[in-house]
Amino acid sequence: MQEFRFDLCTLPPEAEALRKEVRAFLADELKDMPAVTRAQTWMGFDAEFSRKVGEKGWIGLTWPKKYGGHERSAFERYVVLEEMLAAGAPVGAHWIADRQSGPLLLNFGTEEQRQMLLPEIAKGTCFFCIGMSEPDSGSDLAATRTRAEKVEGGYKVNGTKLWTSNAHKAHYMIALFRTHFDPDNKHAGLTQFLVDLKTPGITIRPITDLAGNAHFNEVVFEDAFVPDNMLVGSEGSGWGQVTAELAYERSGPERYLSSYLLLQEMVGELKARGDSSADAEIGRLIAELVTLRQMSLSVAGMLEAGENPALEASVVKDLGAIYEQGLPVKAHELLGGEPRLAGGSDYEEVLGYLAQVAPSFSLRGGTREILRGIIARGLGLR
C-alpha cells in the first residue's frame, strides 16, 4: 500500500507580501461587482479583467522571463490564485492557459509555439480551452475518436469535442486527437495539438447549462486543417502528456474554493441575524477549509519540487469537491431562505447560483468515481 505524502508547506515572506498587493488590487477592482457575479469566480469570463491581471504581472508568474513570465515561485502563484478565488474575481478567461496550457507548452511545446503564445498568455490577452471529452468519451478518455489524419503539411481533423468550457470565447484549444488506432492499445495513438479556433471547418455551438448559462460547447471538426507545427510534444504521446497535466489540474485552490463566497455570505448572514444555532456547523466548515488549504498547498510544494503527486492531487480534488458541493446544502439546512436568481439578498442570490452549478463540481476535471478509482489503485487494490 502506497502511503500518501502530504508534507506541510509554509508560505515564504515574499508570497505574503504579494498577497497584500493582490488584495488591494482586488478590493478596488471588484468594489462594485454584485456578490452573485463574484460567486462565479473561475467560471466568470471577463477579458478586460484578465488583461489587467496580465498587466500586473500575475499571469505566467512562474514562467521564464524570456517567454513573458516573471520567474517567481509556485507559492507566490498559489497566493495570487487563492486571493482571486476568495474575492470572487472573474478569472475564467485566462485561468486554463495560466494553469495548464502554458505549462504544457513549456514542457512539451516547440520553441516556436512558446514564443508565439506564452507572452500573449502572460499579457492576459490570449485564452485557451481544453478539448478532451467527446460524445462517446467522457471518463473513458482513451476512447477518444476525433481523428487527425496525416496529410501534406499537417493533419486533417474530423470529429466532435464536447463540454469544452469557454471554446466560444477562447482563441486556442489544446486538443487531444487520435492519430493512430490500435484496437489492442487504445492509450497509444493519441496526440495533443494546438488548434487555432478560427480555423475553417470548426463549428462551435454553445450548450446552455441547467442554470441558463452558456459556458461549455460542442466543437465540431469537419476536415479542419491543423499544420504540422501545431503538434504538441510527440505524435502518439498524448496520453502520457495529458496525465502529466492532471496533478496541476486537480490540486489547485479552485478545487475547494468554488463555493467560498457562499460560506462568507453564510457567516455574514448568521451574524446579521444574531443566530448562534449554526456555530458548530460553521466551525466544522472552517476546519475543513483550513485542512483542504494545507493539503492543496502541500501538493503545490511537491509540484514546485519537481515531484509528481498525481495521487495526492486526486485526494485533494475528491475531498475538495465534496466540500464545495456540500456548501449549498449546508446553507439550506442551517439558514434556510429561498434561493433566488435575482432580486434577493446577496446570500439568497449566491445560494441560487451555487445550488444550481454545484453538481458540476464532482464531474469537471475528473469525476468523483474516476478519482476514487485512481486512489484505489494507489492503495494497491487495482
Partner 1 sequence: MNELQTILSDTANRLLAGRITRKVLEAAEAGEWQAGLWQALEENGLPRVLVPESDGGAGGGWAEASIVLKAAGRHAAPVPLGETILAGWLLAKAGIGMPDGPVTLVGAGAMIEKGKISGKAPGVPYARHASHAVILHAKPDAQSTKIALVALKDAAIEEDVNLARQPRDTVVFSGEEAAESGEIPGLVDVKLWGALLRACEMSGALSSLLEQTVQYAGERKQFGKPIGKFQAIQQQLAVLSTHVAAANVAAAHACAAADKYSEKGSARFEIAVAKIRADEAANLATGIAHQVHGAIGFTYEHSLHFATRRLWSWRAEFGSGRDWAKELGHAAIERGGAALWPFVTAR
Strands 214-227 and 231-232: unpaired
Which residue, 129 or 315, is less far from partner 1 as judged by CB?
Answer: 315
Side chain identity at residue 56, one-letter code: K
Residue 98 near residue 273 (C-beta atoms within 8 A): no
Residue 234 near residue 241 (C-beta atoms within 8 A): no
Told to check if 74 binds partner 1 by CB under 8 A, we report: no
Binding map of partner 1 across residues 286-325, x = CB under 8 A, - = no contact? xxxxxxxxxx--x-------------x--x--xx------
Which residue, 67 or 260, is less far from partner 1 as judged by CB?
Answer: 260
Q: Select from 298, 349, 166, 320 the least CA-distant residue to 254.
A: 320
Smallest separation (angstroms) from partner 1 to the CB of 272: 9
Per the listing, cell 480555423 goes with 199
Told to check if 354 binds partner 1 by CB under 8 A, we report: no
Told to check if 265 binds partner 1 by CB under 8 A, we report: yes
Told to check if 186 binds partner 1 by CB under 8 A, we report: no
Told to check if 10 binds partner 1 by CB under 8 A, we report: yes
C-alpha cell at 180: 493512430
In sequence order, which residues have a C-beta less than 8 Å from that of residue 17 and are 6 or more positions away?
none
Which residue, 214 or 379, is less far from partner 1 as judged by CB?
Answer: 379
- Of 1-9, 102-110, 179-187, 203-211, the segment contacting partner 1 by CB under 8 A is 1-9
Report the C-alpha gap between 189 and 212 in whole angstroms. Answer: 37
Told to check if 363 binds partner 1 by CB under 8 A, we report: no
Told to check if 84 binds partner 1 by CB under 8 A, we report: no
Report the C-alpha gap between 315 and 372 in whole angstroms. Answer: 8
Which residue, 9 or 104, is less far from partner 1 as judged by CB?
Answer: 9
Told to check if 270 binds partner 1 by CB under 8 A, we report: yes
Kindly identify the residues of this chain, within the stretch 16-35, that bind partner 1 according to CB under 8 A.
19
Which residue, 195 or 375, is less far from partner 1 as judged by CB?
Answer: 375
Q: Select from 172, 168, 81 the least CA-distant residue to 126.
A: 172
Q: Is the C-alpha dihedral spanning 33, 39, 41, 43 positive or negative? A: negative
Q: Select from 320, 309, 302, 301 the least CA-distant residue to 75.
A: 301
Residues that bind partner 1 (CB under 8 A): 1, 4, 6, 8, 10, 19, 82, 86-87, 260, 263-271, 276, 278-295, 298, 312, 315, 318-319, 369, 371-373, 375-376, 378-382
